[in-house]
């Protein structure tokens, strides 16, 4: 679906143009065309391929989708893939935006995502002195918007992790804590797959040899790279914290099992003593003086209960019960 197709001259908007007129504006000096598509069909991509002379491999990647974040060069053009991460009812939805950049055009193709980028276009149009840099600045603005939307998700994951850490020593929550930790770990892994490859790719857009379209905007891409570096460090920190929290939970399970084992062993010892006394007096011997004694039965009961009471007190004092 076509969202918009706009021509810009020297950093200022000229007009919304039909796709059929793209070639006319591409031939004008100092002019570039910015086209935005959403969930583009194969026919729409083929039409854009013909208008902008896009590379077949880049178009094929955009057509198939589900690409790893990357930035590739095809002659004088750039093909960038970024993941669009959004939280929907507590779950993580993974979308994608593919951006084709040439010296006089930008084509963005958004897939499987409800995120809007109208604010990016508004920002660029409010800064004509920067938009005058051409398609490279538009690529930066799109990358910056995608990366900035990662921060709230990371903050939410950190808040969830802190909530779990606060309950980690609460008895009865071990299973729930571990399940929640695994759920957070899966979300963090999604963020890692979105951030780490993009950070590696963004490093190619400043310093040293850079694509011609990005030559005048290197400092902006360096800023994006810095943001990605911070996010990547946060991801690694959260993953380490999750691993530590899981180990603490598993250690707590072991401690609870040991406590249960000690408790069972203490009760087994108490009942073992009672069983031993009962077994002795239950032997079928004729000459047992206690059997004929008037106070033999009460004494036996007192001795059994008294010994069990002493053992219970000792185990209670030592923390086994």
> Domains in the chain: how many in total?
2
> Mean pLDDT lowest for which of 75-84, 92-101, 140-149, 157-166?
157-166
pLDDT tens profile 165-203: 888 877 777 778 888 899 999 999 999 999 999 999 999
* Residue pair 19/47 in contact by the 8 Å Cβ criterion: yes
> Domain holding 101: CATH number?
3.30.460.20
Question: Looking at per-residue confidence, does 81 or 176 come out higher?
Answer: 81
CA dist., res. 107 & res. 278, Å (int): 90
Give the pLDDT of residue 50. Answer: 92
Q: Is 125 a residue whose pLDDT tops 70?
A: yes
183 in any annotated domain: no
Give percent of the chain above pLDDT 70. 94
Q: Given this model, what pLDDT does residue 94 score? A: 93
Of 114-123, 142-151, 184-193, least confident by mean pLDDT is: 114-123
Range of the domain at 39: 1-133
Establish if 173 belongs to a structural domain: no
Question: Do 212 and 134 touch, CB atoms closer than 8 A?
Answer: no
- Distance CA(98)–CA(7), nearest Å, equals 20
Domain assignment of residue 42, yes or no: yes
Please report whether residue 100 resides in a domain: yes
Which of 84, 117, 133 marks a domain boundary? 133
Give a yes or no: residue 106 inside a domain: yes
CATH number of the structural domain spanning residue 282: 1.20.58.340
pTM of the model: 0.80
At residue 228 the predicted structure's pLDDT band, cuts being 50, 70 and 90, is very high
Task: Please say which residue of 103, 133, 163 terminates a domain.
Answer: 133
Residue 297 has pLDDT above 80, yes or no: no
Mean pLDDT of 66-95: 91
Coil, strand or helix: which one is 274?
helix
Judge whether residue 290 has pLDDT over 70. no
Domain end, chosen from 133, 162, 189, is at: 133
Phi-psi region of 66 (alpha: psi -120 to 50; beta: other; left: phi over 0): left
**Burial (0-12, 13-18, 19+ Cβ within 10 Å), 216:** middle
What's the rounded mean pLDDT across residues 228-254? Answer: 89
Residue 270 falls within a domain, yes or no?
yes
């Amino acid at each position: 679906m076509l969202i918009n197709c706009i021509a810009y001259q020297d950093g200022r908007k000229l007009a919304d143009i039909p796709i059929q007129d793209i070639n006319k504006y591409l031939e004008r000096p100092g002019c570039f065309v910015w086209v935005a598509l959403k969930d583009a069909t194969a026919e729409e991509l083929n039409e854009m391929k013909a208008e902008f002379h896009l590379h077949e491999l880049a178009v094929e990647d955009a057509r198939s989708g589900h690409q790893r974040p990357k930035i590739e060069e095809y002659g004088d053009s750039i093909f960038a893939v970024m993941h669009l991460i959004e939280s929907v009812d507590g779950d993580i939805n993974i979308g994608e935006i593919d951006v084709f950049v040439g010296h006089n055009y930008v084509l963005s193709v958004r897939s499987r995502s409800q995120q809007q980028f109208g604010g990016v276009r508004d920002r660029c149009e409010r800064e004509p002195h920067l938009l005058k840099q051409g398609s490279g600045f538009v690529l930066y603005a799109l990358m910056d918007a995608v990366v900035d939307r990662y921060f709230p998700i990371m903050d939410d994951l950190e808040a969830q992790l802190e909530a779990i850490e606060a309950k980690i020593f609460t008895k009865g929550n071990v299973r729930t804590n571990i399940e929640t930790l695994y759920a957070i770990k899966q979300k963090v892994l999604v963020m890692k797959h979105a951030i780490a490859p993009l950070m590696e790719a963004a490093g190619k857009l400043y310093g040293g040899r850079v694509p011609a379209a990005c030559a005048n905007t290197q400092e902006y891409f360096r800023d994006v790279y810095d943001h990605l570096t911070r996010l990547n460090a946060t991801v690694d920190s959260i993953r380490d914290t999750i691993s530590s929290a899981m180990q603490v939970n598993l250690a707590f399970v072991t401690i609870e099992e040991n406590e249960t084992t000690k408790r069972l062993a203490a009760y087994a010892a108490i009942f073992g003593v009672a069983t031993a006394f009962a077994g002795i007096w239950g032997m079928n011997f004729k000459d047992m003086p206690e059997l004929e004694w008037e106070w033999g039965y009460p004494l036996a009961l007192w001795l059994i209960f008294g010994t069990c009471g002493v053992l219970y007190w000792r185990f209670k004092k030592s923390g086994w019960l």
